[in-house]
Amino acid sequence: MDVYNPANNQKIGEVREFTEEEVASTIERLGTGFPGWSARRPASRGMVLYKAAEMMRADLDRLASILTSEQGKPLAEARNEIVGAAAVFEYYASIAGTVGGNTVPKSDYGYAFTSKSPLGVCGAIIPWNMPALIMAWKVGPALATGNAIAVKPAETTPLTNIEMAKTLFAAGLPEDVLAIVTGNGETAGAAIAGNRDIRHLSFTGSVDTGEKISKMVDAGRVRLTLELGGSDPMIVCADADLDRAVAGAVAGRFYNCGQICTAVKRLFVADSVADVFTERLKAATERLRVGDGAAEGTDLGPLNSIKGLQRIEEMVDDCVGSAKILTGARRPEGPGNFYSPTLITDLEPDSRLLTEEVFGPVLPIVRFGDLDEAVEMANSTRFGLGASIWTNDMRNASKAIEGVRSGILWVNRHSRIPPEVPFGGVAGSGIGRENGPNSLDGYLVEKTVIISP
Ligand code: NAD
């Protein structure tokens, strides 16, 4: 399979396209590596993750430039992502030895305790928007707890994942404990999802693919984690620090060219500050420099695929007429999947920009009268991933904490996901949680032991 640079659509590499049979035999091979790895002391497994993180940090420039070349993001963002992935490995290294069981108070049946063991071979299917970070979210806990894992990268961004695997091997990971199975979703991805020897499948991607995958897995044998799309609302109250909120909206929407699951996808602004807020936001948006992610000073790279670019264009075109475009909505001349950062107001409530996931640099802005109205609009999609409220009044924050349907809610920031805290969606945005100490349990099975007196 060919890999392209989305900044110019030139070919930059080739990877193997795994067939279904090759995926099955790879999973079988991982099954032979599992016993040795799971028998190691947790600290020894943790050391491999620590070492890999150290090597990734030392190799930062090279890894970031590979990531930029296949994904499109600016080099500074690529560096952040590689460092973020290394931090995830360090986090799981630091908690590898904390897995314990429970003791149950003595009763008439005797003593009872539980012990936790790794599951076996796990699977991970990941998207292209944050390939390094999302691979680390899955590989980190799987390896720390003693499992083996097969990773299926997205079609457009396999190179960074291959480099991360090489780094893990160079750090001491046995080669039969991790495999990168490159290929198409419909073949290699489906072959992992339908494999009966996988014990846990963690999928990150779109809602549509998530739905297909949940039908493919054998629910009686495979644990399933689904990290799906979102349409995160950002609510700006009248009392908010507006400059801080403007900066939050710009970063929240346009980082990674708007291709983040928890990007700010709908902006709700209190009526009384909407004019001044929008004016400042427009000025900040127009300062963003669009260009090749590898070039100095670029704020926004290209979209990752032509398909993604066309979808964004279609969504914007659909609302032209009724809505008002404040800035952007242009495809710059020349090669590459570029789209100018776009702000749109006066949308119909059923506009696709407000009801579907907008996975690109386009931000719809909606005014609200009172906060209840904003919360109601925030909850009006099928999603429930992230959300934020910008306010200095605890009563407003409490209303959002209680009322907004989401797996994660930020107050006065948006989209930071540290490895120490649980992350995942509700409603149409998925099931299960990644990150945080409890994520280890997803990769462990608990056995109860009862000792009769
Ligand atoms: P996608 O669903 O098209 O693809 C994701 C992965 O699934 C890829 O590796 C792809 O090859 C594979 N795939 C596709 N069809 C398959 C099939 N039939 N069987 C098995 N695997 C298959 O998603 P995408 O476009 O790569 O990613 C963007 C989406 O991911 C957005 O919706 C975004 O919100 C979501 N996302 C969610 C999170 C989260 O943590 N909740 C994080 C990042 C991205």
Helix (H, G, I), strand (E, B) or coil at 87: helix
CATH 3.40.605.10: which residues of the chain? 2-228+426-451
User: Which pLDDT tens digits describe the chain residue by residue (453 residues)?
Assistant: 999 999 999 999 999 999 999 999 999 999 999 999 999 999 999 999 999 999 999 999 999 999 999 999 999 999 999 999 999 999 999 999 999 999 999 999 999 999 999 999 999 999 999 999 999 999 999 999 999 999 999 999 999 999 999 999 999 999 999 999 999 999 999 999 999 999 999 999 999 999 999 999 998 999 999 999 999 999 999 999 999 999 999 999 999 999 999 999 999 999 999 999 999 999 999 999 999 999 999 999 999 999 999 999 999 999 988 899 999 999 998 899 999 999 999 999 999 999 999 999 999 999 999 999 999 999 999 999 999 999 999 999 999 999 999 999 999 999 899 999 999 999 999 999 999 999 999 999 999 999 998
Residues 6+ away with beta carbon under 8 Å from 403: 372, 375, 379
CATH 3.40.309.10: which residues of the chain? 232-411
What is the best residue among 198, 209, 262, 421 to mutate for testing ligand 1's pocket, by most ligand atoms within 8 Å of CB? 209
261 catalytic, yes or no? yes
Supply φ then ψ for residue 293, to 5 degrees.
-60, -25
Residues 403, 396: Cα–Cα separation, whole Å: 10
Looking at residue 453, what is its pLDDT?
84
Looking at residue 388, what is its pLDDT?
98
CA of 265 to the centre of ligand 1 (A): 18
* DSSP single-letter state for residue 288: P
Residues 229, 233: Cα–Cα separation, whole Å: 13
**CATH tag for 2-228+426-451 (out of 1.10.8.80, 1.10.530.10, 3.40.605.10, 3.30.420.40):** 3.40.605.10
Which one from 257, 261, 319, 434 is the annotated catalytic residue?
A: 261
> What is the value of pTM for the model shown?
0.97
227 catalytic, yes or no? yes
Which one from 77, 155, 227, 434 is the annotated catalytic residue?
A: 227
Q: How far apart are the first and last CA of the chain?
A: 63
Looking at residue 322, what is its pLDDT?
83
Q: What topology does CATH give the domain 232-411?
A: Aldehyde Dehydrogenase; Chain A, domain 2 (3.40.309)
Q: Whose CA is nearest to atom 9 of ligand 1?
A: 154
Q: What is the CB neighbour count within 10 angstroms for residue 324?
A: 12
Residues 268, 272: Cα–Cα separation, whole Å: 12
Residues 381, 432: Cα–Cα separation, whole Å: 20
Looking at residue 350, what is its pLDDT?
93
What is the best residue among 125, 207, 225, 307 to mutate for testing ligand 1's pocket, by most ligand atoms within 8 Å of CB? 125
Q: Whose CA is nearest to atom 42 of ligand 1?
A: 261
Q: Whose CA is nearest to atom 12 of ligand 1?
A: 185
CA of 126 to the centre of ligand 1 (A): 6
CA of 127 to the centre of ligand 1 (A): 5
